[in-house]
Amino acid sequence: MENKPARKPHVVIVGAGFGGLEAAKLLIDEPVRMTVIDRTNHHLFQPLLYQIATAALSPADIAAPIRGILGRCKNTEVILAEVKSVNVEARTVSIGEREIAYDYLILATGSRHSYFGHDEWEKLAPGLKSLEDAIEIRRRLLLAFEYAEKITDDAAKKAAMTFVIIGGGPTGVEMAGAIAEIARYTLDKDFKHIDPSSARVVLVEGDQRVLSAFPEDLSLKAMEQLKELGVEVHTGIHAKNLTEEGLQVGDEFIPCRVKIWAAGNTASFVGKTTGAPVDKVGRVLVNEDLTIPGHPEVQVIGDLANFSYRDGKPLPGVSPVAMQQGRHAARNICAMMDERKPQRFRYWDKGSMATIGRNRAVADLHIVHFSGLLAWMAWLFVHIIFLVGFRSRIAVLMQWAWAYFTFNKGARLITRNFQAESRPLT
């Protein structure tokens, strides 16, 4: 009589961002069945999303179909669906039409932007998390110039050419720099009735300095570089009274057509449905080994997790954290299958970088701080290396090279019907 082969455990990974994808890649060759569920059909290289929003790259350059990466793996099934909830007792996740049972679960559903209770601001000031967000922001940016070119009223022209970015973290800084560049170098000679290089770009940060997660000297360098690009930086001020007409920044009401939100995140609602304790932005308070209390078979990683670091502060919501946690969660599952205990997660912080524009960036490698051209080249190198898939990497490199030498941006497309948008606002 033959031994009946043991049933392979079923690993469900929810979310194919940096964390989920890394976990999946490690588990491809393990004796498990795996199901990866995502509500989009693509893995997105989010650090470059602002380049879609500012017309430098095309969506396909930074997004790779999840099936293209994992679909051909024998042990892996990919499902395009949104997970509605997790039932940790029954060990199932619900995708609405049906429940999917798991033996091990990795939750990596990430975060969305948060408007601090002002949900009505979302339409007025879109944030930047998905491809759709980026295409929408690109459309608003480009239409603002088209609108300014067409109209005759000077005040309305000025409002159309004023861009306010709310939030001075890496995304806000990158957006402000990129908008200033596109106005000054790409569109500067394209119009007859406006001078795009006179566009006003305003960055508003509630904290005392931009890039507040960086060391103070680099915050100052970033501020200097933004000012060189003509960006007006306001720190220590919270934007108020957002309306279609503009917003209040300190004592000044700034009339502006395009506002961009880069000021806060809230974790995906899926975390709460596990019943595990969450912090005030909805992140799951995970154990030292990334599991949740009482359920070692459930691990939460990336932006959805609140992992207490050295000083009790949670780890930041950046891709290296998500990727390291993804790999760790996969290794924990292997350990548990061997009836070993999940291990404590340790973050290897290699430093951080933010780019401000052409030849302008800051890089914090702990032992040394860079800014300017050297930091920019380091940023470029790291981002190309990490871009998923051969094709993207070459295509992106070519477009960057092209943009660098010509100051041209290749993806200046306005898609969707612009008619509804020729009206004064949004």
Give the residues lining the site for a second copy (CB under 8 A): 39-42, 58-61, 63, 65, 67-68, 71-72, 77-82, 97, 131-132, 135, 142-143, 146, 149-150, 187, 189-193, 391-392, 394-395, 398-399, 402, 408, 410-419, 422
Under a CB-based contact definition with an 8 Å cutoff, are residues 264 and 116 in contact? yes
Residue 21 C-alpha from the chain's centroid: 15
CB closer to a second copy, 80 vs 374: 80
User: To the nearest whole angstrom, how small is the minimum distance from the Cβ of residue 63 to a second copy?
Assistant: 6
Q: d(Cα 206, Cα 209) in Å, to the nearest integer?
A: 8
**CB neighbourhood size of 84 (10 A):** 14
The CA angle 117-120-126, to the nearest 5 degrees, is: 100
CB closer to a second copy, 65 vs 206: 65
Q: d(Cα 31, Cα 387) in Å, to the nearest integer?
A: 28
Instruction: Give the long-range contacts of residues 216-224, CB within 8 A, separation 24 or more.
Output: 217/369, 218/362, 218/363, 218/364, 218/369, 218/371, 221/362, 221/371, 221/372, 222/173, 222/354, 222/356, 222/362, 222/371
3-state secondary structure of 258: strand
Enter the tokens of residue 323.
Answer: 């990727």
Catalytic-labelled residue, pool 22, 136, 174, 181 = 174
Alpha-carbon torsion, ordered 302, 303, 305, 307, to 10 deg: 80
User: To the nearest whole angstrom, how small is the minimum distance from the Cβ of residue 33 to a second copy?
Assistant: 10
The CA angle 209-211-212, to the nearest 5 degrees, is: 60
Q: Would you call 174 a catalytic residue per the annotation? A: yes
User: To the nearest whole angstrom, how small is the minimum distance from the Cβ of residue 340 to a second copy?
Assistant: 30
Under a CB-based contact definition with an 8 Å cutoff, are residues 292 and 334 in contact? no
Contacts of 21 (CB under 8 A, 6+ apart): 43, 66, 69, 70, 326, 388
Find the helix or strand (DSSP H, E) in which 19 lies. helix 18-27
Under a CB-based contact definition with an 8 Å cutoff, are residues 161 and 155 in contact? no
User: To the nearest whole angstrom, how small is the minimum distance from the Cβ of residue 141 to a second copy?
Assistant: 12
- Specify which residues 106 forms β-bridges with: 13, 299
User: To the nearest whole angstrom, how small is the minimum distance from the Cβ of residue 200 to a second copy?
Assistant: 21
- Mind telling me the catalytic residues? 174
